[in-house]
Amino acid sequence: MFHHSGKLQYPVKVDKPNPEFAMLLQQAIGGIEGEIRVAMQYFFQAMGARGDDRIRDMLMSTATEELSHIEMLGHAVALNLEGAPVSYQEATAQDPVMNAILGGANPRHLLSSGLSAMPVNANGVPFDMSHVYATGNIAADMLANVTAEAGGRVLASRLYNWTDDHGMKDFLSFLIARDTYHQQQWLAVIEELGGFEKQLPIPNATPEDNEAMQHSYYYLNTLLDKEAPKGRWSEGPSLDGRSQYSVRNQPAPEGQEPSLGGAKEKSGAQKEQIDPKK
Amino acid sequence: MFHHSGKLQYPVKVDKPNPEFAMLLQQAIGGIEGEIRVAMQYFFQAMGARGDDRIRDMLMSTATEELSHIEMLGHAVALNLEGAPVSYQEATAQDPVMNAILGGANPRHLLSSGLSAMPVNANGVPFDMSHVYATGNIAADMLANVTAEAGGRVLASRLYNWTDDHGMKDFLSFLIARDTYHQQQWLAVIEELGGFEKQLPIPNATPEDNEAMQHSYYYLNTLLDKEAPKGRWSEGPSLDGRSQYSVRNQPAPEGQEPSLGGAKEKSGAQKEQIDPKK
Amino acid sequence: MFHHSGKLQYPVKVDKPNPEFAMLLQQAIGGIEGEIRVAMQYFFQAMGARGDDRIRDMLMSTATEELSHIEMLGHAVALNLEGAPVSYQEATAQDPVMNAILGGANPRHLLSSGLSAMPVNANGVPFDMSHVYATGNIAADMLANVTAEAGGRVLASRLYNWTDDHGMKDFLSFLIARDTYHQQQWLAVIEELGGFEKQLPIPNATPEDNEAMQHSYYYLNTLLDKEAPKGRWSEGPSLDGRSQYSVRNQPAPEGQEPSLGGAKEKSGAQKEQIDPKK
Amino acid sequence: MFHHSGKLQYPVKVDKPNPEFAMLLQQAIGGIEGEIRVAMQYFFQAMGARGDDRIRDMLMSTATEELSHIEMLGHAVALNLEGAPVSYQEATAQDPVMNAILGGANPRHLLSSGLSAMPVNANGVPFDMSHVYATGNIAADMLANVTAEAGGRVLASRLYNWTDDHGMKDFLSFLIARDTYHQQQWLAVIEELGGFEKQLPIPNATPEDNEAMQHSYYYLNTLLDKEAPKGRWSEGPSLDGRSQYSVRNQPAPEGQEPSLGGAKEKSGAQKEQIDPKK
Amino acid sequence: MFHHSGKLQYPVKVDKPNPEFAMLLQQAIGGIEGEIRVAMQYFFQAMGARGDDRIRDMLMSTATEELSHIEMLGHAVALNLEGAPVSYQEATAQDPVMNAILGGANPRHLLSSGLSAMPVNANGVPFDMSHVYATGNIAADMLANVTAEAGGRVLASRLYNWTDDHGMKDFLSFLIARDTYHQQQWLAVIEELGGFEKQLPIPNATPEDNEAMQHSYYYLNTLLDKEAPKGRWSEGPSLDGRSQYSVRNQPAPEGQEPSLGGAKEKSGAQKEQIDPKK
Amino acid sequence: MFHHSGKLQYPVKVDKPNPEFAMLLQQAIGGIEGEIRVAMQYFFQAMGARGDDRIRDMLMSTATEELSHIEMLGHAVALNLEGAPVSYQEATAQDPVMNAILGGANPRHLLSSGLSAMPVNANGVPFDMSHVYATGNIAADMLANVTAEAGGRVLASRLYNWTDDHGMKDFLSFLIARDTYHQQQWLAVIEELGGFEKQLPIPNATPEDNEAMQHSYYYLNTLLDKEAPKGRWSEGPSLDGRSQYSVRNQPAPEGQEPSLGGAKEKSGAQKEQIDPKK
């Protein structure tokens, strides 16, 4: 069950409100790199977590922290919109060039939300929950989580670089720090489970005879005019310790030509397809 | 530039067409774990790849292979739909119970595609390109790719488990094998770049003074009634070698109470919000 | 800031797992009538609440409760999926007719989530955040909330009617009860603000001279062959006390004919549109 | 059956075309507060209206009016785009700073629609029909309609505030007026059905023994560090006359800990989940 | 301005209600081949029609007819849902096998709409307005319209084939007929404008020196192992009378290798990309 | 099976990078008029092509070409973003007015993609695969393809008009040329199949007695106050040679009034609907 405290997890200050930065911050709320995504992803992974119950607790605990991050970002957006113009006259008065064209802001911060945060990204596109990755496979889920936190820290760093507001920089340095930890937190679960050597290939419970293993360890170079790039992926022992890497260059197709013949009666095709001349 | 051969990468046979399995296979085409996603993800990562050009080649080469996987799956769907009923009479004749209710098939295989594959998932929801993760950060992108391939192999294993068709099992064992390799291929790039110790935290180019490092290495336990779970994530050296892990239990909020005061004139609020009594 | 307890808000039991009911329950998680929607709606309204701070507290407090409802529903879905078949053989063994066609279940519970809840509705369509209604106008927001809770209680009642599982019926009776209260909670805010008479029309801060009030109180009957239906809406004092209702039957258009003339050069139109003969 | 007259419902004039305002007006066409939404919502409610046939007529009649509103807004957008630049040279000539950056306009008005309206919102996001709320429950539907009209009038007021074009202000004052009436029209239906006291809780046909009524009338305060806010919702008779309101502070969870145990064989989980050590 | 008559355009009868067919009919309402799409497409094309005003009238007139088709289909769905089971007991009683698994019906007809039509397709996916094609170019728009009507008639024919209900067959034969005409109606506009010879290439107003005409008339065969298929497209005069068709086989790339060099400082990339070793 | 060459199909040069033009180019990648759409549309049509195998080859061959167009456009976007500012200081330094407000650029090119292309349109909305039209009917598919290419050439012409960059103009003139051919390529298939006279109405395999042919050849004028526009569509022989066109003015409805009576018990309706007074 969830509970709430009235204060924010970390202080959020804005020195000089900036409606354009409000729009950029939205990416950290409703973007695929954002906090709604990780909150919901950890939440749904927790609800389906089978196996070691410590993982479920960890998922739910961190989901709860991410909810507090949405809350801080939402407040940051509202603070950046304080005093934004709501009429053409006011806009033109403030700055004849920039504000008259809405200053690069999200127009729906004016029209739809009444100067506050929305669950949308920096293009104004609403977050959709298909981005909540929860497979029921713990290693796949942990990787999805590291990926999400990597994207999150890339984004927070870009926002930090863009703004010159001291309050915002301080707040973003906190988010950067927490993303640092969360990246490692999920990788540490894989480490605890024996590391990639034991967890690969995912799922590691698929029996080997379900797999055409002769196709499992070569790099396929489909480029017609270039050699395969050499690297850790093209020779040496495989990361799961089961085999050796190799390269297959400019492969010829091994399958058949995929012809389907004539169309079925009453299937909605043209006559010529049902009874092809050729 | 892309080119094409007339044959499939690997043989695709169906022993006994099954419209329900056609619907399940759609998840491997248009699902978030599917082949359109990885083809487009590697393609867009390649088009923005900066730094080592070998990675761009590798991304484009594997994107090209994934296009061939879509092609095989599309053919597998069409073969599973061969002979599917297109009228109620025919349906009832074939099997009075199952087919009369469309046999669990996707109704749009009948109504929209004329018995062939669609770029949708097993629920009939079209794939949308927001799932193409390409950040311009090579480590974040590699993780996104391992994640996608982990999801893909989980899915292929589940499809393998579900079907009892020998042709389909053979074809899926090939996909399982290629997913095995692709998982390792992307992790091998990280390995080549010095492994996680050197690549973490992502982005590793963010200066340390942009980060509130006092918040970078503790596990935050937001659960009120449970101890923090102990594990690799809660003590010992951090995976990036910069610090030690610790635990912070049941933290008190450090921030302010996020009050916004009255609403602005002409902002579309109710009178009572613009001039609050209290 | 958010916190969490390890136990559920209310007990969730399933007497006999039913994968089809798992699919139906998804509507209460990821449907527009569902709990993700209200949790996020109250959350975002709270983050933009201006005026009386008691409302912000109430919004955040109830948002927190709704998160606990998602959690219970997610557990209910997982319990209904316990033991669901994951292979064709197993499916056929359990029940030759029904399970062989997935028993009406969501195929992605099998393929994507590993037998647990997803943030999707009963059709498998992911929830998207455009359904989070938060206008910054308190009366509009309260109405949106009553609407959401009305939809929620309609849905919970339909689920209650459908199932014959005692555990599920007990759990749903709790959700029905809370939806009862929440409907009234938001209407009570309007009551406290003076009721509809004082809050209408929304927004009540729009000056009367921004409104063509001669068009504000008539029912417009656009039906050519039927009289306007008589009722509270067609005569008597208006609900805001500003005027009297009346009826305008089969109105003639008052505006101009909307002709746009020729297309602009270089605008991408056909020649014939740029220089129309006629 | 629908019919059409060649003229607009009300005159639409633009004194000075403004491509940015064209973009803002799109919110009133394809936004969730817009006219496509109400037109389609009333239309689909009408097609499913059961019970009193006057309501079906009213829904269809007002749906028809809303179609005429889309038509006027569409014309307003086209008029605001008359003369918008279609080449960089032209853009730079008109105004070296603003137009060279498209003047805050929707780029797709230039690229996709050839200087005319689109069924998208002010961010360019297409309207999707999931926002058509039609439950088959008349009270729930009426609330959804008041909500939609409240959002619509908030939006029209914000657009009125933003523009300084006399033609547009006149047109918007008409929309504001009609939204005034429509808000009351739908509330008047509830009034005629006996008011909220008789219609609550929605659905009022759910038998009381399907409801855990001991949970139906308390305000649940999930905030750990704040008292429950006092108000109409926390004491006194309930709005449906069935009970008294009360408050439950900082509640302890009543349910179980939601543990799921090990994962099923062949369900796609990792080995460690199927046979957990712990 | 729009108006409405109380009766349907054509009689809609259902001999034996069938919830599964209700689900299939949804494709004709909210599918991309459906009536919402054409109604809105013609409506938005009309609002942006420049040039010959007869076309605008024709577009608006047919848009109006399509609205009446949505109305009929909506009624057909409701009639097919009359008497559908709303509880498990009732479902099991009616037919122990089929109804207990919802009979292949859309579960949201039960849960969300109260046994009536929704603006969704046969998979339950809501229609989204990105499918409203209106370019401002009359020839492109007419083609989009023929395409939509072709898809519509294919769908209506498939529905006709599927059902064995006489009422539904009669109703669908009317839709098939109107789609016949509408296909030709839009092609007739192109005919009147001089036919494809004069209208191609679209847009015909693009000056020839904006076009690399040496690339305008060859068929490009990208297949490595197959000859270009011969046909009307590979030799003889072009359909626009400007040139002759030819074939270019297995072309070599003419462009450069698309390398981007190192990543920019502060752009969020990894260190290794900003300063690549190689 | 697919293959790839390392070079681009045609040279792509940018004389002066322009982040705003990068945003506009996105429409040609991820817009409905864009290259992802045609690549995927021809690909999926090919995978379901039944009848004449030459068509399948042609579809796959051109799908392959379109993939190369995405590649070129993706490179064009990256080149236009070279040197775009990533910090406020840098932005302000470059151009105090324009860049400080992101210069009209897509903010996600900065925040999400690290200065490279994304699979989104010019509003930043991700492409979704519902726009892949593949019906299984060859004539309907060919029309969908001409439509897509017509939209594509309209778009490329608009982009050509907008930019003043010589490199970009040269590249766009190549795309314009290929769209010229592709429009005709698909129409030539219809020509080869006997032209519209033989292919109409689509599907031409629907038996005439499935069609209420008395409704197949009249123009229906639903406009109350205007005569039907005269033209090729209103008189003379029909384009399929089966009949003569005529006009039906201001038609009266022929169907019944669509009343549904009372709501079902337990269907979630209000009491008043279940047992209507009237």
pLDDT in tens, chain C (278 residues): 999 999 999 999 999 999 999 999 999 999 999 999 999 999 999 999 999 999 999 999 999 999 999 999 999 999 999 988 888 777 777 665 545 456 678 999 999 999 999 999 999 999 999 999 999 999 999 999 999 999 999 999 999 999 999 999 999 999 999 999 999 999 999 999 999 999 999 999 999 999 999 999 999 999 999 999 999 999 999 999 999 999 999 789 999 999 999 999 999 999 999 987 64
Does residue A259 lie within any of the structural domains?
no
Does residue E270 lie within any of the structural domains?
no
Phi, psi of A4 (to 5 degrees): -145, 145
Using 50, 70 and 90 to split pLDDT, how confident is the model at A96?
low
DSSP classification of residue D135: -
Q: How many CB pairs under 8 A join B and C?
A: 132
CATH code, domain carrying A56:
1.20.1260.10
The answer on pLDDT for A97 being more than 60 is no
- Note whether F248 and D30 are within 8 A (CB): no
Does residue A8 lie within any of the structural domains?
no
Q: How many CB pairs under 8 A join D and F?
A: 132
- Note whether E144 and F133 are within 8 A (CB): no
Peptide bond between residue E126 and the one before it cis (omega within 30 degrees of 0): no
Place of tokens 């709990």: C35
Does B237 contact A at CB distance below 8 Å?
no
Contacts of D266 in chain B (CB under 8 A): 161
Does residue E174 lie within any of the structural domains?
yes
B125 and B59 both lie in a single domain:
yes
ipTM over 0.90: yes
Using 50, 70 and 90 to split pLDDT, how confident is the model at E100?
very low
Does A267 contact E at CB distance below 8 Å?
yes
- Which chains reach chain B with 3 or more Cβ–Cβ distances below 8 angstroms? A, C, D, E, F
F191 and F248 both lie in a single domain:
no
Does residue A92 lie within any of the structural domains?
yes
The token duo for A97 is: 């060039």
**Cβ-nearest to C259 among E5, E53, E123:** E53
Does residue B120 lie within any of the structural domains?
yes
Contacts of C123 (CB under 8 A, 6+ apart): B123, E106, E107, E108, E120, E123, E124, E125
Using 50, 70 and 90 to split pLDDT, how confident is the model at A3?
very high
**Cβ-nearest to B268 among C7, C193, C203:** C203
The average confidence (pLDDT) of chain A is: 94
Does residue E136 lie within any of the structural domains?
yes
**Cβ-nearest to C231 among D115, D131, D192:** D192
C125 and C238 both lie in a single domain:
no
DSSP string, C237-262: B-TTSS-B-EEEESPPP-S------S
Phi, psi of F153 (to 5 degrees): -75, -35
Does B137 contact F at CB distance below 8 Å?
yes
Contact A113 C119 (CB under 8 A): no
Q: Among residues B175, B148, B2, which one has the least CA distance to residue B73?
A: B175
The answer on pLDDT for B103 being more than 70 is no
- CA separation for the pair A121, C48 (Å, rounded): 17
- Average pLDDT in the F132-158 region? 98
Contacts of E139 in chain D (CB under 8 A): none
Does D161 contact B at CB distance below 8 Å?
yes
A40 and A143 both lie in a single domain:
yes
F234 and F123 both lie in a single domain:
no
- CA separation for the pair D167, D14 (Å, rounded): 5
Does A44 contact C at CB distance below 8 Å?
yes
Q: How far is B274 from chain A (nearest CA, A)?
A: 12
Supply the angle between the helices D166-192 and D138-162 in degrees, to the nearest 10. 160
Q: How far is C274 from chain B (nearest CA, A)?
A: 36
Q: Which domain holds residue C163?
A: 19-197
Using 50, 70 and 90 to split pLDDT, how confident is the model at F277?
low
B34 and B119 both lie in a single domain:
yes
Q: How long, in residues, is chain C?
A: 278
* Burial group, residue D82, by CB count within 10 angstroms (0-12, 13-18, 19+): middle
- CA separation for the pair F149, F161 (Å, rounded): 18
- Average pLDDT in the F151-172 region? 97
The answer on pLDDT for D95 being more than 90 is no
The token duo for B176 is: 């399982």
DSSP classification of residue D98: T
What pLDDT is recorded for position F96? Answer: 54
Contacts of F85 (CB under 8 A, 6+ apart): F91, F93, F94, F99
The token duo for E249 is: 């086989």
The average confidence (pLDDT) of chain F is: 94
* Burial group, residue D277, by CB count within 10 angstroms (0-12, 13-18, 19+): exposed
- CA separation for the pair D167, D75 (Å, rounded): 13
Contact D132 E114 (CB under 8 A): no
Q: How far is C40 from chain D (nearest CA, A)?
A: 16
Q: Among residues E72, E71, E100, E79, which one has the least CA distance to residue E22?
A: E79
The answer on pLDDT for B80 being more than 70 is yes
E212 and E82 both lie in a single domain:
no
Contact F270 D112 (CB under 8 A): no
**Cβ-nearest to B185 among A130, A139, A219:** A219
Contacts of F33 in chain E (CB under 8 A): 135
Contacts of A135 in chain C (CB under 8 A): 112-114
Tell me the longest C-alpha to C-alpha distance in chain E: 76
Contact B47 F3 (CB under 8 A): no
The answer on pLDDT for F98 being more than 90 is no
Supply the angle between the helices C35-47 and A53-81 in degrees, to the nearest 10. 40
The string of pLDDT tens digits covering residues A180-227 is 999 999 999 999 999 999 999 999 999 999 999 999 999 999 999 999
Residue % of chain B over a pLDDT of 90: 89
Q: How far is D155 from chain F (nearest CA, A)?
A: 21
Does C103 contact E at CB distance below 8 Å?
yes
E56 and E143 both lie in a single domain:
yes
What pLDDT is recorded for position D251? Answer: 84
The answer on pLDDT for F99 being more than 70 is no
What pLDDT is recorded for position E143? Answer: 98
Contact D129 E36 (CB under 8 A): yes
- CA separation for the pair A167, A16 (Å, rounded): 9
F227 and F141 both lie in a single domain:
no
Does D184 contact C at CB distance below 8 Å?
yes
Phi, psi of A34 (to 5 degrees): -95, -175
D25 and D46 both lie in a single domain:
yes
Return contacts of E223-228, CB within 8 angstroms, 24+ apart: E223/B3, E223/B4, E223/B5, E223/B6, E223/E250, E223/F57, E223/F60, E223/F61, E223/F64, E224/B3, E224/B4, E224/B5, E224/E250, E224/F3, E225/B5, E225/B6, E225/B7, E226/B6, E226/F57, E228/F61
Does residue D74 lie within any of the structural domains?
yes
Contacts of F122 in chain D (CB under 8 A): 107-108, 111-112, 124
- Average pLDDT in the B115-143 region? 97
- Which chains reach chain D with 3 or more Cβ–Cβ distances below 8 angstroms? A, B, C, E, F
Quick one: residue B228, left, alpha or beta (phi over 0 = left, psi -120 to 50 = alpha)? beta
- Average pLDDT in the F222-230 region? 94
The string of pLDDT tens digits covering residues A108-120 is 999 999 999 999 9
C241 and C105 both lie in a single domain:
no
The string of pLDDT tens digits covering residues F187-198 is 999 999 999 999
D190 and D216 both lie in a single domain:
no
B236 C-beta neighbours (distance < 10 Å), count: 12
The answer on pLDDT for E87 being more than 90 is no
Last residue within a domain, chosen from E197, E222, E242? E197
Name the residue with higher pLDDT: E101 or C175: C175
Q: How many domains does chain B have?
A: 2
- CA separation for the pair A27, C135 (Å, rounded): 20
